[in-house]
């Protein structure tokens, strides 16, 4: 998949590293689910709080 579109934005995922894809997906997710997605990604060891999302 190259593009992901939600009501919160659009991201191009082509060519990104796993952690960068994760970050972009979380950015366009519904705000109510972002913390849950971050926890899941941390459990899978593909994202950590030092990444750019605030």
Q: What is the pLDDT of residues 29-50, one digit of tens each?
A: 999 999 999 999 989 988 766 6
User: At 53, is the pLDDT very low, low, confident or very high (cuts 50, 70, 90)?
Assistant: low
Using CA atoms, how far residue 26 sits from 15, 23, in Å, is 17, 5
By DSSP bridging, strand 3-6 and strand 9-12 are: antiparallel
Mean pLDDT (the chain) is 88
Instruction: Over range 11-35, report the average pLDDT.
Output: 93
Gap between the Cα atoms of 21 and 11, Å rounded: 9
Q: What angle do CA 5, 48, 22 make, to 5 degrees?
A: 20
Give the pLDDT confidence score for residue 1 in this predicted structure. 82
Q: Which residue has tokens 């971050």?
A: 38
């Amino acid at each position: 998949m190259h593009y992901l579109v939600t009501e919160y934005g659009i991201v191009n995922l082509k060519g990104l590293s796993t952690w960068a894809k994760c970050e972009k997906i979380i950015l366009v997710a519904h705000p109510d689910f972002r913390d849950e997605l971050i926890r899941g990604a941390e459990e899978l060891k593909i994202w950590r709080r030092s990444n750019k999302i605030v």
